[in-house]
Amino acid sequence: MESVRFYLPTEVVSGPGCVRRMAERWVLGKKALLVTGARSAARSGALEDVTAALEARGAAWAVFDGVRANPDASQIYMGCDVARREGCDFVVGIGGGSPLDAAKAIAWVVAQGVPRERFLKSRPEPGDAALPIVAVPLTCGTGSEVTPYSIITDHGAKTKVNVSGACLFPKVALLDARYLTGLPREVLADTALDALSHAIEGAYSPRSTRLSEAMALEAVRTIVPELVRLAHGGFVNVAELHYASAVAGMVIAQTGTGLVHAMGYPLTYHKGLPHGRANGILLAGYLEFMERPCPTLTARLLEAMGVAGVDELQALVDAVLDAAGTTPVAPSEEELARFAREPLRLELVRKYRAMPSPEEVMDIYRTGF
Amino acid sequence: MESVRFYLPTEVVSGPGCVRRMAERWVLGKKALLVTGARSAARSGALEDVTAALEARGAAWAVFDGVRANPDASQIYMGCDVARREGCDFVVGIGGGSPLDAAKAIAWVVAQGVPRERFLKSRPEPGDAALPIVAVPLTCGTGSEVTPYSIITDHGAKTKVNVSGACLFPKVALLDARYLTGLPREVLADTALDALSHAIEGAYSPRSTRLSEAMALEAVRTIVPELVRLAHGGFVNVAELHYASAVAGMVIAQTGTGLVHAMGYPLTYHKGLPHGRANGILLAGYLEFMERPCPTLTARLLEAMGVAGVDELQALVDAVLDAAGTTPVAPSEEELARFAREPLRLELVRKYRAMPSPEEVMDIYRTGF
C-alpha cells in the first residue's frame, strides 16, 4: 500500500479588499516583480490595490506585462530579465492562469539560475528554491494560485509542459472576487468549466484521497449552479466561482489533472480553443467513460452536480457555450484521430485509473462535438 | 466584511509504513529531539520506526520521555534542557496530544530562547521561529499534528493556556494507523469524542468558512459510524478515526475551538476527566443550545452524524462511555455553578457565534451529566 500525501502550503486569503488590508501577510520582500497580461491587472483594479499595498509597506516594484495566453519560454525569460535587472526579490502574479503560471516559472528560473536551453527539459528538484510567489487570480478557473504547477507551451513539441515542483506553491493567494465583476461571460464560462474539470479529474485520479474527494465534491456542488445561471443568462455569483476554482485547484495540487486535460491540450494547441472550453466539452464523455470502472464515484459526482446523468451534463455545457456565443466548431474526423493519438503519448497517461483505447478517446471527442 | 483565511502548511503523510518509507520527507535536521510520554511511543512501534528512519538518513537523536497528560511548563523546560544539551536541531513529537503539544512548545522555546518566567505569558509572534516540528500522532483525537496550537496547563491560573502561533504548525505529520491497534477502547472513545468535538465546534465558529465546514462535515461523517461501533462493542476501524481526527484538526487550525472546550477544561482540571470525554459529554447540550441561532448548520451536522436529533446524540455518547466503562460521575450543582463562571472568563468567549448566559452554560453541563 502506498503512502498518501496531502500538502497545501499556500495561505489563502479572501474577501473584498483583502489585497490592501492583508498587505503585511503577502509583501514578502523589498521589491516585487509584478507579472501580468496586457490589460486585466489594471482594468480589474487589482494592480492599483497591489501597488498601493506595496507602497504602504515601503516596498518597490517593477512590472512585467508581457505574458500572453499560453505563455512560452521566451516570455518567461523576458520576465526573468526584468526581475534580474530590477533586483526583484519576490514575484506577484496578477491575472488568469497564464500570468500566474509565468510568475511561478520566473520565480524558479531566477532563484535557481536555470539556463534557457535546459528550461522545459528540467523540473524543480525537491531541494530547489524559488523567489517567494504571491498569486492574485483574476479568473475563476485555473486554480494556479494554490498549485505547484506552471504550464508552459512548448512550440518545439507542439504541446504544453508542466513545470511542477513544491517550490512553485505560492506563499499567499489573494482572492478578491470584486476583480472578476468586469469579466465577459465567455471568460466566466471557460474558466468555470476549467475549474469543474479540475474537480472531476481530481476525483477520478488514482492519487485522489478521501479528503481531496470531499473537496472535489464541494467544488462541483458550488460550480454547477453558477453554470446553470450562465446558461440561462442569469446573475452569476463570481465569488462562488472564485472560491470553488481555488478549492478545485487544491484538489489538483494533490492529484494532478487527467485524461480531459491531456485530450484538451491538442484542441487548444491546434484549434485555438481556450483551455477551459476545451476541457468542458470533453467532460460528459469522460464521465460516461469512467462510469463503468468507477460507478459509485460517478454517481456521487452526478449527484453533487445535481444532474440526472451524463446527457444532462453535456446539455448543460452546450447551453453554457451557446449562451456565451462560443459553441466550438467540430474538428474533422481526421483531426480528431490525430489528436486521439496525442494524449496517449503524455506521461500523464500512466496515471489514469482506467486506460482508454484510442477508439474510446475518439468517442469522448465525438461526444463533446 | 472581514478577510477569510485558510492556512494549513503541514504536509500530511499517511499509510502503513509511512514513517520509514517517507524518511526523506521528514528527517529535517542532523539530530532530533524525540518527545514522548512514558510508554506509548515504544509500545506502539512508532519509536522503533522513527529511530530506524533517522538512522537510515544518518541523523542522530536524543529522547525526552518526560511528558505526562496535560503537560505543564516544568515538563516543557525539562525537554528544552535536553534539546540544548544534546544540540538537537529539530523535534519529533510521538504520542497523543500531550507529547505533540509539548514538542511544539519545546521547539519554540528553544529556537526563540523564551525565558521560563515569561513562558505562559507570551505567545509566538508572527516573525518567530521554531525548530522544525514533526508529529507522529498515536491517538485519534487531538489533531495537534496539523494545528498551530500547544495546550499547556497553567497550575497558577488553574486552567490551560493555548500557546499558539504559525511557527508551531508541524512541517510534517506522519499518520500510520497501525500504531493505534493496541489502544484501549477507552482511549479510542475519549479521543474520538475529542475529534468529533473539534469538528462540531469548528463548524459553529464565527471563523468557519465554506471549506472548513465541508471538512468538518467530512470528519463528523467519518467519526460517528466508528463511535456506533465503539458503543456496540464492534470492530473499530482506527484508520478512519486517525484520518478523521486529522481532518477535524485541520478545521480547528482555521477556526479554533469554542464553548465545549472552554466548558470542558474545568472538568479536566478539577475533576480529572480526560479531555475528550469532558468535551464529548457536553456536545449534545451544545448542539441543543446552537440549534436556535444556527438551525441550518445544526441540521446539517445532525444529518452528517446520521442521528435524528440531539437526544440521540447524547444517547450515543452515553453508550460509548458505558461500553468503555468510563461513565463519569456528575459533579455537584455547586461545582457546576463554579465551572459555569470559568469558561466565560476565557478570551475564547468573545469568539462564539451565540453567547450563552451562565444559566445556559449550566443547562449544557446538566444535559451532559
Q: Do B6 and A2 touch (CB under 8 A)?
A: no
Checking if the pLDDT of B216 tops 80, the result is yes
Predicted local distance difference test score (pLDDT) of residue B77: 97
Per-residue pLDDT tens digits for A280-300: 999 999 999 999 999 999 999
Tell whether A218 lies on the interface with B, counting CB pairs under 8 A. Answer: yes
ipTM: 0.89
Reference B197, options B283, B265, B319; nearest CA is B283
Predicted local distance difference test score (pLDDT) of residue A140: 95
- Give me the mean pLDDT over the A25-45 stretch: 96
Reference A212, options A163, A161, A146; nearest CA is A146
For A83-146, give the DSSP string: HHHHT--EEEEEESHHHHHHHHHHHHHHHHT--GGGBTTB---TT-----EEEEE-SSS--GGG
Q: Do A21 and B3 touch (CB under 8 A)?
A: yes
Radius of gyration over every alpha carbon of chain A, rounded to an integer in angstroms: 19
Inter-residue contact B218 to A214 (CB < 8 Å): yes
What 8-state DSSP symbol labels residue B140? S
Q: Do A243 and B210 touch (CB under 8 A)?
A: yes
Query: Which range marks the domain in which residue A94 is found?
Result: 11-179
Q: How many structural domains compose chain B?
A: 2
For residue B10, give how far its alpha carbon lies from the nearest alpha carbon of chain A (Å). 7
Beta bridge partners of B136: B94
Whether B280 is in a domain gets the answer yes
State residue A137 phi and psi, 5-degree precision. -75, 135
Checking if the pLDDT of A347 tops 70, the result is no
Tell whether B21 lies on the interface with A, counting CB pairs under 8 A. Answer: yes
Predicted local distance difference test score (pLDDT) of residue A162: 87
| C-alpha–C-alpha distance, residues A76 and A104, integer Å | 9
Chain A, nearest residue to B21 by Cα: A3
pLDDT band for position A317 (cuts 50, 70, 90): very high
pLDDT band for position B269 (cuts 50, 70, 90): confident
Contacts of B151 (CB under 8 A, 6+ apart): B97, B101, B160, B161, B162, B163
Q: Do A3 and B21 touch (CB under 8 A)?
A: yes
Chain A residues within an 8 Å CB radius of B26: none
* CATH assignment of the domain containing B216: 1.20.1090.10
Q: Residue A56: left if φ>0, alpha if ψ -120 to 50, beta else—which one?
A: alpha
* CATH assignment of the domain containing A96: 3.40.50.1970
Tell whether A222 lies on the interface with B, counting CB pairs under 8 A. Answer: yes
Residue A20 and residue A118 in one domain: yes
Site from B14, B211, B240, B247 to mutate, A interface, most A CB atoms within 10 angstroms: B211
Tell whether A174 lies on the interface with B, counting CB pairs under 8 A. Answer: no
Checking if the pLDDT of A350 tops 80, the result is no
- Give me the mean pLDDT over the B273-282 stretch: 94
Residue B201 and residue B167 in one domain: no
The whole-model pTM stands at 0.92
Whether A347 is in a domain gets the answer yes
Tell whether B354 lies on the interface with A, counting CB pairs under 8 A. Answer: no
Checking if the pLDDT of A121 tops 90, the result is no
Q: Do B214 and A218 touch (CB under 8 A)?
A: yes
Predicted local distance difference test score (pLDDT) of residue B358: 81
Reference B343, options B244, B223, B256, B259; nearest CA is B259
Residue B150 and residue B243 in one domain: no
Residue A168 and residue A188 in one domain: no
Whether B6 is in a domain gets the answer no
Q: Which of B159-168, B228-237, B288-297 has the lowest mean pLDDT?
A: B159-168
Predicted local distance difference test score (pLDDT) of residue B155: 84
Per-residue pLDDT tens digits for B54-91: 999 999 999 999 999 889 999 999 999 999 999 999 99
Predicted local distance difference test score (pLDDT) of residue A157: 79
Per-residue pLDDT tens digits for B126-173: 889 999 999 999 999 999 999 999 999 888 887 778 899 999 999 999
Mean pLDDT of chain A: 93
Inter-residue contact A249 to A142 (CB < 8 Å): yes
Residue A288 and residue A320 in one domain: yes
| C-alpha–C-alpha distance, residues B135 and B201, integer Å | 23
- Interhelix angle for A259-271 vs A283-291, to 10°? 150
Mean pLDDT of chain B: 93
Torsion angle of alpha carbons A170, A174, A179, A184, nearest 10°?
40
- Provide the residue type at A207 as one letter: R
Whether B1 is in a domain gets the answer no
Residue A157 and residue A193 in one domain: no
Residue A152 and residue A189 in one domain: no
pLDDT band for position B109 (cuts 50, 70, 90): very high
Predicted local distance difference test score (pLDDT) of residue B253: 97
Whether B240 is in a domain gets the answer yes
Residue A227 and residue A172 in one domain: no
- Give me the mean pLDDT over the B248-258 stretch: 95
Of A9, A15, A214, which is closest to B3 when you measure between CB atoms? A15
Checking if the pLDDT of B347 tops 60, the result is no
Tell whether B206 lies on the interface with A, counting CB pairs under 8 A. Answer: no
Farthest CA pair distance, chain B:
59
Beta bridge partners of A63: A34
Chain A residues within an 8 Å CB radius of B215: 211, 214-215
Predicted local distance difference test score (pLDDT) of residue B1: 47
Whether A4 is in a domain gets the answer no
Residue A209 and residue A107 in one domain: no
Predicted local distance difference test score (pLDDT) of residue A189: 96
State residue A181 phi and psi, 5-degree precision. -65, -30
Report the alpha-carbon angle A232-A236-A241, nearest 5. 120
Residue B248 and residue B349 in one domain: yes
Q: Do A211 and B222 touch (CB under 8 A)?
A: no
pLDDT band for position B10 (cuts 50, 70, 90): very high
Tell whether B49 lies on the interface with A, counting CB pairs under 8 A. Answer: no
Residue B333 and residue B224 in one domain: yes
Residue A133 and residue A163 in one domain: yes
For residue B239, give how far its alpha carbon lies from the nearest alpha carbon of chain A (Å). 12
Domain boundary among B179, B208, B239: B179
Q: Which residues of chain B from 111 to 150 reach within 8 Å of chain A, CB to CB?
A: 126
Give the A:B interface size as CB pairs under 8 Å: 74
